[in-house]
Structure 1
Amino acid sequence: MLVITTNLQLNTFLNSLHKKESLGLVPTMGALHKGHLSLVEKAIRENQSVMVSIFVNPTQFNNKEDLEKYPNTLEKDIALLSSLSNQITVFAPSVEEVYKNNIVTKKYDFQGLDRVMEGEFRDDHFNGVGTIVELLLNLIKPDNAYFGEKDFQQLQIIKKLTQIQDILVTIIGCPIVREPHGLAMSSRNERLSTKTRNEASFIYETLKTAKEKFGTKSASKVKDWVTKTFLENNTFELEYIEISDIDTLKPIKRKQKGKKYRAFIAVYTENVRLIDNIALN
């Protein structure tokens, strides 16, 4: 498997590709799991060449401790990718190679998509995401780029990023992959105790029941029910529950015909922050 660590090596590789060969990119921060691999598998099916970037991006962490604790498992990640295909190319640059000793977060106008939910609790997070995604897309110039729907708000923001920055790429969202007990797969799950990880089915079960209730009840009543349910649970602390229009991400006041909605949730347990979401209609 080819592992590229510098921009010079990257340019040499990209120049070697046939012009008619489609290139799929799966951007990751490493600590790969089955959720990531599902994105890579889709990219393999839909492209002649596939690149996986592995880069822990400092500009999207508003919590320094979270950045320091983020797992670095490059050798394990490469082995996992090799089990899928030896034709995958890995781009694993250093922070110095990416930012040239000038770590600066760009500012974007995401037209309100970044001001709700995660944006309310993670200051400047989406500007940091936009900074690295724009950089990677312009460096690699993929035809298609794949992102998971677990970070649905991020997915919508990246789609907006390509519009406002006029980046020619197709952004493809992929379904959430869950652990057997329902917890959305995340690299942060590794920091949970076995007991809590098994109990985390509570989060997804609550979301599924919220979806059922949304069929007959108002958004505000569903949110109140979710809040009450978490208050009665001693393991998971609810940070927010929101029900939003999937296009604007604005919280809904009243259901409208023809509109699609999604419930978004953020939860703390054992000093680990977990997010999840579910389509409601």
Structure 2
Amino acid sequence: MEIFKTKSALKAFLNPLKASGKKIALVPTMGALHNGHISLIDLAKESADIIICSIFVNPTQFTDPKDLEKYPRPIEHDLAMLNQAGCHGVFMPTVEEMYPQGADENWHIDLGNAEFLLEGAFRKGHYQGVTQIVKKLFDAVEPDVAMFGQKDFQQVLMIKNMVAYFNLPIILITCPIIREEDGLAMSSRNIHLTAIDRENSLVLSKSLQFVINNFEKLPLTELENRAKLFYQNLSGIDLDYFTIANGNTLEPAKSKNELNIIALVAAKVGSTRLIDNMIIR
């Protein structure tokens, strides 16, 4: 497994492979890897010959500097996982490599109204930062396919909109959420959960599963209201939102007949903010 710190070194490695007809997959990450990330690499092998994983903690997508500061960076652990998973190359640029001094980093594109809903309402400007760095990674790797996890459903939607905005010839593949045995969605943030937080965190998947189990039995409004009741008597949990939404717009679903419906939730569990979702149809 090769490690690259610069775009020029990465391109020198990839260009001959592309010239020989090899398909390239990119798995963008911010490190602190877990089995959810490895599942993206496993799925990438089905669509490409060469797998490149990027590890870069992107400063422009953090609205809280403290969140950026405390983001975990267990690099030796991450590299060992990627090597064992059969990753061919790891792109680990510095902030200066991705945001060179003196470069015009003015970035704002139209991502649609969904940018301002749900996570966008709580983290102003977050998705402009996400799409900015993903475009930079796409320019560095020029992949045929790129893998993203369903857990960040809104993020994937924003990246799809960015790809359409620039008309990029990249296929985006959304990979299913990987869960712990008790249902908690795997996340790099889970290491911050105390034992009590860890127990309380199960309410996210339980409330989503309630919607899945009762979708055909209850009206949409009642489903949503009853799912929110799961959070009422739990101390140490603050619910940011629970919504049953149209998966294309993230606006509240108006009818069960809509083709793409998803339940999404975000809550602060102790001092850690978690998100989760389940696709209904």
Structures share fold, TM-score greater than 0.5: yes
Q: Corresponding residue for 1:207?
A: 208
Residue 105 of structure 1 contacts residue 131 of structure 1 at CA under 8 Å; is this kept in 2? no
Question: Given the alignment of the two structures, is residue 192 of structure 1 paired with residue 193 of structure 2, yes or no?
Answer: yes
Structure 2: distance between partners of 1:115 and 1:244: 14
Residue 137 of structure 1 contacts residue 167 of structure 1 at CA under 8 Å; is this kept in 2? no
TM, length-normalised to structure 1: 0.95
Residue 39 of structure 1 contacts residue 174 of structure 1 at CA under 8 Å; is this kept in 2? yes
Q: Corresponding residue for 1:127?
A: 128
Question: Given the alignment of the two structures, is residue 261 of structure 1 paired with residue 261 of structure 2, yes or no?
Answer: yes
Residue 243 of structure 2 contacts residue 252 of structure 2 at CA under 8 Å; is this kept in 1? yes
Q: Corresponding residue for 2:276?
A: 276
Q: Corresponding residue for 2:149?
A: 148
1:104 to 1:178, Cα distance in 2 relative to 1, 3 A: same
Output the aligned Cα RMSD: 1.5
The amino acid that maps onto 1:82 is N
Residue 201 of structure 2 contacts residue 269 of structure 2 at CA under 8 Å; is this kept in 1? no
Structure 1: distance between partners of 2:22 and 2:132: 27
Structure 1: distance between partners of 2:279 and 2:267: 18
Structure 1: distance between partners of 2:107 and 2:210: 39
After TM superposition, give the deviation of residue 260 of structure 1 in Å: 2.1
User: 1:185-214: CA deviations, max 9, x gaps?
Assistant: 110001111342244222211110122233
The 5-angstrom pairing of residues 38-187 of structure 1 reads: 38-85=39-86, 88-101=88-101, 104=105, 106-187=107-188
User: 1:36-90: CA deviations, max 9, x gaps?
Assistant: 00001111232110100000001111111111000111111010111122x5200
User: 1:88-116: CA deviations, max 9, x gaps?
Assistant: 20000000111013584611111212121
Paired residues, number: 279
Structure 1 stretch displaced more, 137-146 or 99-108: 99-108
After TM superposition, give the deviation of residue 18 of structure 1 in Å: 3.8
Q: Corresponding residue for 1:14?
A: 14
1:258 to 1:44, Cα distance in 2 relative to 1, 3 A: same
Q: Corresponding residue for 1:220?
A: 221
Structure 1: distance between partners of 2:104 and 2:76: 26
User: 1:133-180: CA deviations, max 9, x gaps?
Assistant: 111111210000000000011111111110111111000000000111
Q: Secondary structure at the match of 2:116?
A: coil
Q: Secondary structure at the match of 2:151?
A: helix
The amino acid that maps onto 2:12 is T
Q: Secondary structure at the match of 1:17?
A: helix
Q: Which runs of 5+ in 2 are unaligned?
A: none
1:194 to 1:162, Cα distance in 2 relative to 1, 3 A: same
Q: Deviating runs (4+, > 4 A) in structure 1?
A: none
Structure 1: distance between partners of 2:123 and 2:200: 26
Question: Given the alignment of the two structures, is residue 29 of structure 1 paired with residue 30 of structure 2, yes or no?
Answer: yes
The amino acid that maps onto 1:2 is E
Q: Secondary structure at the match of 1:242?
A: strand
Q: Which runs of 5+ in 1 are unaligned?
A: none
Residue 147 of structure 2 contacts residue 173 of structure 2 at CA under 8 Å; is this kept in 1? yes
Q: Secondary structure at the match of 1:250?
A: coil
Residue 237 of structure 1 contacts residue 269 of structure 1 at CA under 8 Å; is this kept in 2? yes
Structure 1 stretch displaced more, 32-41 or 211-220: 211-220
Structure 1: distance between partners of 2:53 and 2:190: 21
